[in-house]
Structure 1
C-alpha cells in the first residue's frame, strides 16, 4: 500500500498548533463571494486559487454544513495542486435562509440545490480555465452532484462522493414515514416545522456524537457554530425530509443511465445515511456497464458519517483514495 503523507496521518497530535498557525494563515487568503440564485436567494461561496493551478475541485457540503467548516479539507487539496471552491447551500451556512425561523433546515424543491450548483459552476469553473474539474461531495452534497451530473454528464472530469445521501436513516418504517409526510404536505403549519425528533441547534457532547471519532475535529466544528450563531441550523422540516426521500428514489431509478466517472466512499458505521442505497446505486451502474470505481462502494472501515472529519488514520486513507482517483485522469 502506498505510504500516506505524514501531514495527514499525524496531525491530531499537534492539532491546535496546526489550526492556529499554518491553517489560519491559509484560510485568511480565501475570497468570499456570492451570487443571486433562483427566487432571489443569495448564495455564498468561498474560493482559494493560485495562478499555478490548472485543476479545480468543487467541494459540495452536506445538510446543515457551511464552508466555514472546511478549511482543513481545502488546505489538504489546495496543497495537492487544486483550486478550491466551496458552496453554502440555500437555507444554510451564510447563504440566505428560507423561513422566518433561520434554524429550520428547508428547501422548496431539491432541484433548487442543483440549480444553484450549476450556476456556481458557470461562474467559476470553466473548461477554458481548467484542464480538469472535479467534484468532492459529502452526504446531501453527493445527491446534488449526482443530479447535476445527470443533467450535464461532462460537467466534471470525475466526482468523488463521500457518504452520499441516496437514502436516509429513518426512525420508523419508511411506509409509515411516507404516510405522515404525505399528510403533512398539505398542511403548511406542519410541512414547514421541524421533522419528528428534531429541534433547534444544540451542541451534542462528543461522547454521544454519531458523526466522527475525532475529538479535536468534532470540538473545532462545534466551536464554529457556537461562536457564529448565524451559522447554526437545527433539524430539517418535514417537507425537506419528504424531498430527500423522493430524491433518493429518483437517484436509484436513474442510476443505470448515469455515465460519469464516480468514486463512492462508504462509512462502515454510518447512522445518518442508508448504506444499502449506496450499494444499490453502485450495483445498478455496474449492471448497466458504467461501474463506480472498483465496481462497488469503497468501504472506510471504522468510519462514521463525516469521513473527511474522522480521526487521522481513517481520514488520511480517504484523502489518499480521493487524490489517487483524481490523478488517474491526468492528461
Structure 2
C-alpha cells in the first residue's frame, strides 16, 4: 500500500488544518497505574502512566480522502527517550489511513506520565523492567481492546524499540507483528559498553544516580541544526514547536541511572536464550548515520532471532538518521510504505 505523505512545503498548515482536527475527532486518553514492581523493584515508585489512543472506526466515519476504510487491527507506538505522544501524530495518521487504530504509551519519565525527578530536563529510572511491566500491562488492558480481535502490531523507536524487543522476549504472544525503528538494542555511550557499564554503575553507587549523564545538555529553545543532518526541516521545526508549547515536553537528557539501566536492558535483550523466545515476525530498520544507538548489536539481535526460528529482516537505510520518521519525503515514503506493507501482509517475511 502506498500512502500519500504530507507535503513538506505546507507541512505545518496541513497538520493544523487537516491532520490534528481528524486526530482529535477519534482521540481518547487515559492513565494506567504504573507497575508497583515485582520483588526486584521498590514499591514506592508507582504513579500513573499516560496514554493516547486513536480509534480507526471513528476515523473512518470522517471519510478522509485516501483512507482504506478497512479495519485491520491496532498498532502500539513505543517512543524513544525524551519523546512524547504528540511527536508521533503524523505516523499515527498514516496508520489510521491504512485501517489501524493507534495506541501510544508515554513511558514513565516522559510526557504526562509519572516522573521521579523534579528537573523537567531529566529522565530517571531505577530498574528497566518497569518499562516492560508498564508496556505489557498497557497492551493487555488497553491496546488489545482497540485491536478488537484482529492483529496487534508494534512500532518501537529507539528506546521504545529496545523496550519493545524486551517485551517480545518476555511476553512472546502479545504482538502479531513488530517493527523496530533504530532500536536501542545497545545504546551508544561514547565508550565500549562494558567500560561504560563499570563507570556508570560506579557513579550511581556514589550518589550520581539522578544527575544528568555525561555529555548531555538541558533543553534549549533553539533548534541545533547539527543534530538534524539529512532530516526534513519541516518535520524538525514541527517537533520542536511541540516541545516549546509544553514544559512537560522539555525532557532532554538521561540521568546516570537511566544509562545504567539501558545497558542492563541491552545485556538482557542480546542473550541468545532470550532472542530464541521471540515468536513475533519482526522488521528492523537500521540507520546508517546513527548517533544514538549501535548498529552491530542490531545485526546480532536479528541473526539470533532468526537462529531461534522466528522470521526477522533487517533493512539498512544508509543515509538515514536516527529518527527515520523525520526524514524528507523521498526517504520517508519507502520507509512508511514498507512498514504498512509488512503489517498488512501476513506472509511478507
Same fold (TM over 0.5): yes
Aligned to 1:34: 31
- Structure 1 segments of 4 or more deviating over 4 A? none
The TM-score with structure 1 as length reference comes to: 0.91
Contact 1:282 1:291 (8 Å CA) reproduced: no
Q: CA deviation at 1:210?
A: 4.1
The TM-score with structure 2 as length reference comes to: 0.87
Aligned to 1:98: 116
Contact 1:206 1:219 (8 Å CA) reproduced: no
Aligned to 2:14: 18
Aligned to 2:338: 321
Q: CA deviation at 1:288?
A: 3.1
Instruction: Encode CA deviations 1:299-320: one digit per residue, 9 max, x unaligned.
Output: 1231100011211111111111
1:44 aligns with 2:50: yes
Contact 1:38 1:115 (8 Å CA) reproduced: yes
Runs of 5+ unmatched residues, structure 1: none
Runs of 5+ unmatched residues, structure 2: 37-45, 61-70
* Aligned-partner Cα distance in 2 for 1:229–1:192: 19
* Cα 1:153/1:211, change in 2 over 3 Å: farther
* Cα 1:175/1:233, change in 2 over 3 Å: same
Q: CA deviation at 1:283?
A: 1.6
Contact 2:218 2:253 (8 Å CA) reproduced: yes
* Aligned-partner Cα distance in 1 for 2:321–2:294: 12
Contact 2:325 2:332 (8 Å CA) reproduced: yes
Q: CA deviation at 1:159?
A: 0.5
* Aligned-partner Cα distance in 1 for 2:230–2:134: 29
1:64 aligns with 2:82: yes
Contact 1:212 1:218 (8 Å CA) reproduced: no
1:108 aligns with 2:126: yes
1:277 aligns with 2:297: yes
* Aligned-partner Cα distance in 1 for 2:212–2:229: 21
Tell me how many residue pairs correspond in the alignment. Answer: 322
Instruction: Encode CA deviations 1:112-149: one digit per residue, 9 max, x unaligned.
Output: 01111111112223378231111111011111111112
Q: CA deviation at 1:206?
A: 4.6
Q: CA deviation at 1:98?
A: 1.1
1:231 aligns with 2:242: no
1:150 aligns with 2:169: yes
RMSD: 1.9
Instruction: Encode CA deviations 1:35-94: one digit per residue, 9 max, x unaligned.
Output: 111243211111110336341111111111100111111111101001111111001111
